[in-house]
Chain A
Amino acid sequence: MKLTDSPEEAAFRWEVREFLEKELPERIRVRSRLMGGEGLGGGPEVAGRPEARSGGQGFRLEGGLFGQWREKLAERGWIAPAWPKEYGGAGLTTMQQFILNEEFAEAGAPPIGSMGVTMVGPTLIVHGTEEQKAQHLPKILRGEAIWCQGFSEPGSGSDLASLQTRAVRDGDDYVINGQKIWTSGAQTSNWMFMLARTDPEAPKHRGITYFLLDFTSPGITVQPLIQMSGAAGFNQVYFDNVRVPARNVVGEVNRGWYVGTTTLDFERSGIGSAVGVRKTVESLIRWAKEHAESDQSTTARNPLVRYELVDRYIEATVARMLSYRIVDMQSRGMIPNAEASIAKLFSTELTQRIARTAMKMVGLYGLAWDRESSYSPSRAEYSRGYVNSVGQTIAGGTSEIQRNIIAQRGLGMPRD
């Protein structure tokens, strides 16, 4: 047992820190990623009702500071640190990836890994044909392909395998009809990886196929969804006779569920949110100290707030350890399953508790919503974070689903 870096790990950590100090532009640093930042699906408020657009209309090559940052990352292979070197990644070990993610989160660097890098790339590397890899992996690395995920449907949320979007074979193509929902980033993507039903007669898990869909194909409509916070981070996507070539099927036809669950497994391990949680708690404590005399702070009037802050700090430490446990398992070649659910469950529910504590800390001033108002503590990030944090325990598998996974897969308690 060693809760400190090995010499090799320490050397790598220094390399990452030096890189960040030298290359990370101050202006793209994320100050507080979880509370009211863009990360929670927050984003700027949208006025009125945004219009539907055809798929791929909003895609832009990233320029400016972000584009330069991307170049710097690319030089080190850190666009896709986990991918093997032969595919343009850095081939980092799990522990190195962990250190990289931890240091990026600590420095407030934009988190590594788009949907393309974390979801599509690994899936193609495991299940894709050589042609698919050659076509898509370099574009992901160069930022020429921005991917969104077409999994959830209006009638298929937690019960994803019941999805109804149909793909029917027609010559060399499949023709897709149906609807996806909660599609994050669809408004700026030019590719979508998706699950569609190819055999409606088969048991629900065995009639699904995984497709790579050129999002500029005719027949795709993207309708932004406005969240309760007023931001528009995700969308509904409609498919009206959209043609996708059969060569864009990943893995076997009707085996897409298993290809798709590989993707989901990649989503569940990560230190970024644990670091983010801790930094958020630290920022609350800093705020409480700096505003001890202010009317905007309840800490002088309500001693319970002080203990709530302490509890959140304790829980943030626990969250970090639960995250460490996952990388520890991975670095031994074990595959975290229920353990990843435990970490996800804990850190997302913690995020909501943090948001509630922040609101308690500012009392009546939690009403204020405008970022620029002098009556808004911390630029209204607490009230906005409070609203945004609702999504935490829903996205990426609800808390209830996580508890099912822990009990059934982790503890062997029977279904039904």
Chain B
Amino acid sequence: MDLGLSEEQEMLRQFARDFLEKECPESHVRDMEEDDRGYSQELWAKMAEQGWMGLVVPEAYGGVGMGYLDLIILVEEFGRALVPGPFIPNCVATIALLEAADEAQKQAHLPAIASGRQVWTLAFTEPSARFDAAGVRLAAQRDPSTSLRVGGDGYVLNGTKLFIRDSHVADKLVVVARTGPSTLRPGSGQASAEDGVSLFAVDAGAAGVRHTPVRTIASDKQNEVRFENVRVPAAARLGEEGRAWPVFQRIANKATVLECAYLVGLSQQAFDITVNYTKERNQFGRPIASFQALQHKAADMATDVDGCRYITYKAAWAVAEDEPDADEQVHVAKAWVSDASRRVVANAQQMHGGIGFTKDYKIQLYFRRQKAAELAWGDADFHREGLAQALGI
């Protein structure tokens, strides 16, 4: 057993930290909150030069060919620096392609992602606001206008995706759609909802796709994406028709642990800022860090942050190695990290007092983003329920 980083991972972490401190200071994070696109293409290009967009893409497709655990290390740094923009959704879409796409699709798409030329995002959640298969209602029906032509099978997409990150700047979307019965049969349970789900790679600018920004608590860029008779060729379907849910679960597991890693970096940084602040802030003629009331809060935060980190590593390992308990470990990690990271940022606010409540001071940036990441891929209660079912209670 070895919880430490390899030499390569240590270099990746240190390089990313230095790079992001220089290229993504607080002022950049704030600028992008006000920016309609929400990210800097210049910074995107610089990150692409480091190979980060292709970090987990095999070399055969123009990537760096590193592993999922390496990506976890990198995303932790993104959480620390609160890097704005589509990096994480782009990673998730990349993982979707790696898990679900056939050889031709990989060759067609992965090099463009790895080089940073294209931005992808995943379109999963809907107004149903659910993370299970029953929440997938966007309909993909066989296109009657093409189905009679040989090799011309296509689909027509109709429905709405909601809280889709960065789709307004994306080139392509990986869309989770329902090709089977679009509504559940009365009295049917979870199992039938898992049938009939398919994945599609769709042009973000295709005719009939409309992106409407939804302002978020985190000031990141999320959208409502409406699909109105959007025609998609059959070649855009990733994997078998109607059988994508098990594959999607693997994608979701990896995406969920990436979100955990983001929260690890975010929590650690919010915590470090807070401890430093208490050492500098004087009241009653002494630094407030000398008060046990704050020391004990800080000790609990340290425990929470450390717990977040190691439970995330455990889940990341289980997912990367495809361990039999991977689903269970993902539930454990996201349930814990969702709540523990919230405790950390809430304590961080409290320990800053009034200054932390102002927009000008940086700690609120962490507080608002924590909630967004807590909600993404299911909050603690969602994963508690998943774990309860996995444990058979």
A residues near B, CB below 8 A? Answer: 1-6, 9, 95, 285, 288-289, 299, 306-307, 309-311, 313-315, 317-318, 321-322, 324-325, 327-328, 332, 338-339, 341-342, 345-346, 400, 402-404, 406-408, 410-416
Give the segment of B27-35, B183-191, B289-297 that binds chain A.
Answer: B289-297
Q: Judging by beta carbons under 8 Å apart, are B387 and A403 in contact? A: no
Chain B residues 25 to 56 lying within 8 A of chain A, measured CB to CB, are none
Bound form: Cα–Cα A59–B135 in Å: 67
Bound form: Cα–Cα A415–B295 in Å: 9
B332 within 8 A of A: yes
> Quick one: given A1-B2, A3-B313, A322-B310, are A416 and B302 in contact (CB under 8 Å)?
no
Q: Judging by beta carbons under 8 Å apart, are A413 and B295 in contact? A: yes
Contacts of A321 in B (CB 8 A): 307, 310-311, 313-314
Contacts of A3 in B (CB 8 A): 1, 3, 313-314, 317-318
- Chain A min CB distance to B325 (Å): 10
With an 8 Å Cβ cutoff, the count of chain B residues facing the other chain is 44
Bound form: Cα–Cα A406–B305 in Å: 13
Q: Judging by beta carbons under 8 Å apart, are B289 and A414 in contact? A: yes
Bound form: Cα–Cα A332–B10 in Å: 15
* Contact mask for chain B residues 11-25; partner A; CB cutoff 8 A; 1 contact, 0 none: 000000000000000
B107 within 8 A of A: no
Q: Judging by beta carbons under 8 Å apart, are A306 and B393 in contact? A: yes
Q: Judging by beta carbons under 8 Å apart, are B302 and A342 in contact? A: yes
Bound form: Cα–Cα A163–B162 in Å: 65
* Contact mask for chain B residues 291-330; partner A; CB cutoff 8 A; 1 contact, 0 none: 0101110111011001100110110011001000000010
Contacts of A288 in B (CB 8 A): 393
Closest chain A residue, CB of each to CB of B334 = A314
Q: Choose among B279, B298, B332 the residue that contacts A314 (Cβ–Cβ < 8 A).
A: B332
* Contact mask for chain B residues 252-291; partner A; CB cutoff 8 A; 1 contact, 0 none: 0000000000000000000000010011000000110110
Instruction: Sort A-B residue pairs by CB-CB distance and give the 9 closest, nearest first.
Output: A407-B295, A321-B310, A403-B299, A406-B299, A3-B317, A413-B289, A328-B3, A403-B296, A318-B307
Contacts of B286 in A (CB 8 A): 414, 416
Cβ contacts A to B, 25 pairs, < 8 Å: A1-B9, A2-B1, A3-B313, A5-B1, A306-B388, A310-B387, A310-B388, A310-B391, A313-B332, A317-B332, A318-B311, A321-B310, A322-B307, A325-B3, A325-B306, A327-B1, A400-B296, A406-B303, A407-B289, A407-B296, A411-B275, A411-B299, A413-B289, A414-B279, A416-B290
Q: Judging by beta carbons under 8 Å apart, are A408 and B384 in contact? A: no
Q: Judging by beta carbons under 8 Å apart, are B1 and A95 in contact? A: yes
> Quick one: given A321-B311, A342-B302, are A404 and B1 in contact (CB under 8 Å)?
no
B392 within 8 A of A: yes
Q: Judging by beta carbons under 8 Å apart, are A346 and B307 in contact? A: yes
Contacts of A309 in B (CB 8 A): 388, 391, 393
Bound form: Cα–Cα A53–B317 in Å: 56
> Quick one: given A285-B393, A317-B311, A317-B332, are A328 and B299 in contact (CB under 8 Å)?
no
- Chain A min CB distance to B232 (Å): 40
- Chain B min CB distance to A357 (Å): 12
Q: Judging by beta carbons under 8 Å apart, are A4 and B332 in contact? A: no
Q: Judging by beta carbons under 8 Å apart, are A413 and B298 in contact? A: yes
Closest chain A residue, CB of each to CB of B302 = A406
Q: Judging by beta carbons under 8 Å apart, are B303 and A310 in contact? A: no
B residues near A, CB below 8 A? Answer: 1-6, 9, 69, 275, 278-279, 286-287, 289-290, 292, 294-296, 298-300, 302-303, 306-307, 310-311, 313-314, 317-318, 321, 329, 332, 335-336, 381, 384, 387-388, 391-393
Closest chain A residue, CB of each to CB of B316 = A1
> Quick one: given A2-B2, A325-B310, are A402 and B387 in contact (CB under 8 Å)?
no
Contacts of A327 in B (CB 8 A): 1
Q: Judging by beta carbons under 8 Å apart, are B306 and A408 in contact? A: no
Q: Judging by beta carbons under 8 Å apart, are A314 and B310 in contact? A: no
- Chain B min CB distance to A343 (Å): 9
- Chain A min CB distance to B329 (Å): 8
- Chain B min CB distance to A171 (Å): 46
Q: Judging by beta carbons under 8 Å apart, are A403 and B275 in contact? A: no
Closest chain B residue, CB of each to CB of A323 = B310
Q: Judging by beta carbons under 8 Å apart, are A313 and B391 in contact? A: yes
- Chain A min CB distance to B161 (Å): 30
Q: Judging by beta carbons under 8 Å apart, are B4 and A1 in contact? A: yes
- Chain A min CB distance to B143 (Å): 45
For A288, A324, A404, A411, the residue with the greatest tally of chain B CB atoms inside 10 Å of its CB is: A411
Bound form: Cα–Cα A413–B314 in Å: 30
Bound form: Cα–Cα A315–B304 in Å: 11
Q: Judging by beta carbons under 8 Å apart, are B384 and A410 in contact? A: no
Contacts of B310 in A (CB 8 A): 318, 321-322, 324-325
Q: Judging by beta carbons under 8 Å apart, are A403 and B295 in contact? A: yes
> Quick one: given A403-B296, A407-B296, A413-B289, are A4 and B1 in contact (CB under 8 Å)?
yes
Bound form: Cα–Cα A123–B188 in Å: 67
Q: Choose among B1, B2, B295, B303 the residue that contacts A345 (Cβ–Cβ < 8 A).
A: B303
Closest chain B residue, CB of each to CB of A405 = B299
Q: Judging by beta carbons under 8 Å apart, are B6 and A1 in contact? A: yes
Q: Judging by beta carbons under 8 Å apart, are B290 and A415 in contact? A: yes
Bound form: Cα–Cα A404–B302 in Å: 12
